[in-house]
Structure 1
Amino acid sequence: MEKSIKKGFFFKPYEAPFLSPFEKLFGLFKELITHTSGDFDEAIDWLRQLDVEYKLTDASYTIDDFIEDLKKKGYIREEIKDDGTSGTGITAKTERAIRQQALDQIFGSLNKSGRGNHTTKYSSSGDELTGEFRAYAFGDALDSISITESLRNAQINNGVDQFALTENDLVVEDAQFKAQMSTILMIDISHSMILYGEDRITPAKKVAMALAELITTRYPKDTLDILVFGNDAWPIAIKDLPYLKVGPYHTNTVAGLQLAMDMLRRKRNTNKQIFMITDGKPSCVREKDGNYYMNSNGLDEYITEQC
């Protein structure tokens, strides 16, 4: 009697992947350094408090050992602060690690693919092959001709005894255009991003860092520019994202959009887009005389009509 083979799902208890003591603390450290806007001392103070409460370390590996490993691995360095005192700061290596962690958290479900660009529905003599063939047309590159398929057509059309290869037999492997994109990322750093004790700037930074890492790694031919806006708007570099802090600002969305449009006008790419990360309504606009008109109470039509 034949045995019936049953198919289905096999469940077993979850087994957490092995992480070294450094790796466990480093993941938490990257979260804390994002919340503290790059303030190493504050992040370590928080880490020590969490260690006391949750017993993250033991005698074999302490927080001090973790700090030494951060130095050895090039994640932190001694630096001179703005006030002239010496202190410890994070390095570019840590900044990249923070952006990568944000990418994994927010876009972690994306399937890995080769480095490329945004494909379009238009066929061309581009550099991404589709696997499909079409008849040769004047102007097609000679290296795009499929020799195997063209010879096959010649045999079918003319026979083996009177073999001849004509232009009608030639086929080329089709390709697609790869569109390039220019992106402007706007980030609101007005006071409302931390109003009423709600931390909105940290999630905003995470989204910004994830998007920046996604574009720079998956779409290297694209351009990405970042600006922040409060009472005014100004550009920042990708490396500045972990250090963003809110200020005593209102929300001048108009200034942000004007700067974003001005930056896009300088880009040669046909495809352009703006992403804006904000928590709410515009509340400020700059008048022609340089003064600011501000109103935080409700939606002010004088401001919104200029957006």
Structure 2
Amino acid sequence: MPVFRYGEWQNGPDPLAPPYDVRAAVDEMGDRVMQGDSLRDALRDLIRRGPRDGRGLDELRARAQRLRRDALRRGNLDGAVTRARQMLDQALAAERDALAAREDDDARFAEAQLDSLPRSVSQAVGELSEYRWASEDARQIYQQILDGLRQEVVEQRFAGMKQALRQGDLTDVSAMVSDLNDLLGKHARGEDTDDAFREFMDKHGQFFPDNPRTVDELIDSLARQAAAAERLMRSLSPQQREELQNLMAQALGDGPLAEQLAELTDNLKALRPGMNWGRGERMRGPNDLGYGDAASALGEIADLDELIDQLGQEHPGATLDDVDVEAVERQLGRGAADDVRRLRELERELRRQGWVQRDTEGLTLSPKALRRLGHTALARIFQDIAGGKRGEHDMRDAGAAGDLIGSSRRWEFGDDQPLDVVRTIGNAVRRRAASRDLQTLPVRLEPDDFEVAETERRASAAVALCVDLSYSMYADGRWGPMKQTALALSHLVATKYPQDSLQIIGFGLHAQTLGQGELAAIEPTIEKGTNLQHALMLAGRHLRRHPGAEPVVLVVTDGEPTAHLEEDGEAVFWWPPTPETVRATVREVDQLTRYGATLNVFMLGDDPGLQRFIGKVAERNGGRVFSPDAEELGRYVIDDYVRARRGRR
């Protein structure tokens, strides 16, 4: 029998691993939105950091930046000039040895020529172009200086030129570059170049091993190489640049190739002006890089710069579609490319599954997402709501909020009706007696013994939740708990008490009624003012629209009222509070009191002015005052709502 061994997947991401949890991503974005961030920022940060237990763009960008730093330490860029000087010194040493063995005047004259050579490598190489070498070894070394540099320059621009360069013939190279310039000229003029491109590739395709399929692909490839060569020149000191340019001119000879390459660079600059042509880099390292290696290193740095910019997503309108996945795989590996693909899929799934939507104001959370946020916020406040069966059975009566009607029924898991103690104990005693157990004391209760008192459904409740939107709520870390509490209460009313009517009212300098979506999307502003008077006015209107409902008013605030509405509807702000603001607010409290509404206030912070004011409000209205920590706000509000809707005792 064959033996199979199974272990952890090693070759990149696990192909059987589940995709990102979209719901968890919604919750994570919701947390950010609750804290006051915009949905766009929350989604962008989710993609940048990655979902829970996932890798995001920031990690990939950090890897690209590390690779860039490593590339900058690869070596010195003036290696071509340094190598030429070393080879020239070898050639001159071999030539001097050959001349020293001779006694004739020609040898002495040649030695004088060598002694008078300029210190500049390029100038020395230029003066030796007509020199008659006495040493064959010296002549070959000198020729290698020019041949090697010419080969590096041409190969750096055209990867498929090795065979032509080995033959020492630049005719084919020159013909290809000439045809290439003609093709790019037609493309720049907007002419149809499909046929011309095919003809060019049929004739010169052996010089382009990457096999470009279109003119644009060809231009992109050539432009990257040309830009790398330009960056190399920009990265050298003026003296090094002059030396290398002179050496390159001598290596390319007197033919048309040098001018053709210059024309090609100009054409590519015109066709790809957005490419970074003029940026230089300061590279240092233990090695002297030749022309090809130096240009290759700078080209790699340029590719990493472009990738870092794509992964940063900092330009306006940036999306994951801007990230070149092939470049990610080329620079960072297949695993990184798979991470980008999964992030793209997550972004698409958020839209496809209807968690986010786009309207005239931009990206917003959908009603489906708001319901989930409300459910999640409520579950955090009461863990048993998410995991238990509280309230999930059929509602045959009004629950704890109703009036007793004298009958009872068996208790079911999740009931919140009051226990019928007499019938419960009677059931236990009769059960014991039926078992012929004469020991009836103490009475031992079993789950089947419990009965609950049935109630008659009472009228629904009209609930007004007034939440403070002043900037201090955000600055002191109370913005998120406030929004989560409001969403949790909204979800509770919609799912457990659908007969109730909830109105969320936010107040700053002015008050406004808020739907779930508006509440989730609202962001903090630095506008000053706490207009509780306007909020209570809107709360009174909501209660009066539901005259048969139990009136419930809940206020969450961290500061005393500092604004009120004038008769013309304009808001007036002043701090410390003016008597006019206090009187206007108290008038609204008194109107709610006469209507029969109890005003319960959740006071955040320890502002002495707020404590004095809220204390007086409680005395006039008979409501209660709570002073919870921000983290406990949701539990306090939900519990007080459930208690308040049962009616006043």
* TM-score above 0.5: yes
- One-letter amino acid of the structure 2 residue matched with residue 284 of structure 1: A
- SS state of the match for residue 464, structure 2? strand
The AA in structure 1 aligned to 2:573 is: M
2:496 alignment counterpart: 218
Q: Give, in whole Å, the separation in 1 of the partners of 2:350 and 2:524.
A: 28
In structure 1, give the amino acid aligned to 2:493. I
Distance in 2 of aligned mates of 1:211 and 1:191: 23
1:200 aligned residue (478, 481, 486):
478
Q: 1:101 aligns with which of 376, 380, 401?
A: 376
| Equivalent-residue separation in structure 2 for 1:204 and 1:77 (angstroms) | 24
- 2:403 corresponds, among 108, 122, 131, to 122
User: Which one of 48, 72, 75 corresponds to residue 355 of structure 2?
Assistant: 75
Task: Provide the rounded CA distance (Å) in 1 between the counterparts of 2:493 and 2:52.
Answer: 39
Listed one character per residue, the Cα deviations across residues 178-210 of structure 1 (whole Å, up to 9, x for unaligned) are 22211111122223222xx43322221100000
Counterparts of 2:375 and 2:470, CA distance in 1: 26
Q: Deviations over 1:126-146 (max 9, x none)?
A: xxx7328xxxxxxxxxxxxxx
Candidates 453, 468, 482, aligned match of 1:188: 468
Residue from 362, 366, 370 that aligns with 1:91: 366
- 1:221–1:19 Cα change, 3 Å: farther
**CA distance, structure 2, for counterparts of residue 89 and residue 266 of structure 1:** 30
Compute the displacement of 1:301 (Å): 4.6
Say which one has the larger Rg: 2
Distance 1:22 1:303, change over 3 A: same
Distance 1:258 1:120 in 2: 27
TM-score (norm 2): 0.33
- Report the RMSD for the aligned CA atoms in angstroms: 3.2
After alignment, is 180-189 or 116-125 more displaced?
A: 116-125
Aligned to 2:622: none
1:29 and 2:304 aligned: no
1:236-275 pair list within 5 angstroms: 236-247=514-525, 248-275=527-554
CA–CA distance in 1 between the matches of 2:569 and 2:516? 29
List runs of 5+ in structure 1 lacking aligned partners.
1-17, 82-86, 133-172
Structure 1 Cα separation of the partners of residues 560 and 399 of structure 2: 32
SS at match of 2:400: strand
Change (3 A) 1:243 1:20: same
Q: Structure 2: where are the runs of 5+ without partners?
A: 1-16, 57-334, 411-451, 587-649
CA contact (8 A) 1:36 1:43 kept: no
Letter in 1 for 2:462: S
Identify which of structures 1 and 2 has the higher relative contact order when contacts are C-alpha pairs closer than 8 Å and 6+ apart: 1
Whose helix fraction is larger, Structure 1's or Structure 2's? Answer: 2
Q: Which residue of 1 aligns with 2:162?
A: none
Paired residue for 1:149? Answer: none
Q: Deviations over 1:64-113 (max 9, x none)?
A: 221122123221234443xxxxx543322112111111111223344521
2:155 corresponding residue in structure 1: none
Structure-1 separation of matches of 2:351 and 2:51: 23
Is the partner of 1:119 in helix, strand or coil?
A: helix
Q: Given the superposition, is the C-alpha separation of residues 120 and 44 from structure 1 closer, same or farther in structure 2, using an over 3 Å criterion?
A: closer
Matches of 2:453 and 2:51, distance apart in 1: 63
For 2:50 and 2:494, the matched residues in 1 are separated by 35
Q: Secondary structure at the match of 1:21?
A: coil
Instruction: Kindly indicate whether the alpha-carbon contact (under 8 Å) linking 2:468 and 2:508 is maintained by their aligned counterparts in 1.
Output: yes
The amino acid of 1:22's aligned partner reads D
Contact 2:26/2:355, CA 8 A, preserved across alignment: no
C-alpha distance in 2 between matches for 1:235 and 1:54:
38
Show the counterpart of 2:45. 46
| Equivalent pair of 2:465/2:503 in contact (CA under 8 Å) | yes
Shift in alpha-carbon separation, 1:279–1:56, aligned structure 2, 3 A: farther
1:304 alignment counterpart: 582
| Residues 20 and 270 of structure 1, relative CA distance in 2, 3 Å threshold | same
C-alpha displacement at 1:302, in angstroms? Answer: 4.2
- The 10-residue stretch of structure 1 (249-258 or 286-295) with the greater mean CA deviation from structure 2: 286-295
Amino acid at match of 2:535: G
Task: Tell me which of 36, 40, 63 is aligned to 2:343.
Answer: 63
Partner Cα separation in structure 2 for residue 46 and residue 244 of structure 1: 18
- Counterpart of 1:31, as a letter, is D
Q: Provide the secondary structure at the position in 2 that maps to 1:251.
A: coil
Distance between the aligned counterparts of 1:121 and 1:36, measured in 2? 39
Distance 1:294 1:70 in 2: 42
- For residue 574 of structure 2, the aligned residue among 288, 295, 299 is 295
Q: Does structure 2 retain, via aligned residues, the 8 Å contact 1:184–1:260? A: yes
**Do the aligned residues in 1 keep the contact of 2:405 with 2:455 (CA within 8 Å)?**
yes
Cα contact 1:186–1:275 (8 A) shared by 2: yes
Structure 1 distance, partners of 2:52, 2:465, is: 38
Quickly say closer, same or farther: Cα 1:69–1:221, change in 2 above 3 A. Answer: same
TM-score of the superposition, structure 1-length normalised?
Answer: 0.66
The percent identity for this pair of structures is: 21
How much has 1:56 moved relative to structure 2?
A: 3.9
AA at the equivalent of 1:124: I
Q: Is the 8 A contact 1:227 1:233 kept in 2?
A: yes
- Deviation string, structure 1 residues 24-51 (Cα, Å, up to 9, x no partner): 43432232233355x3321122224433
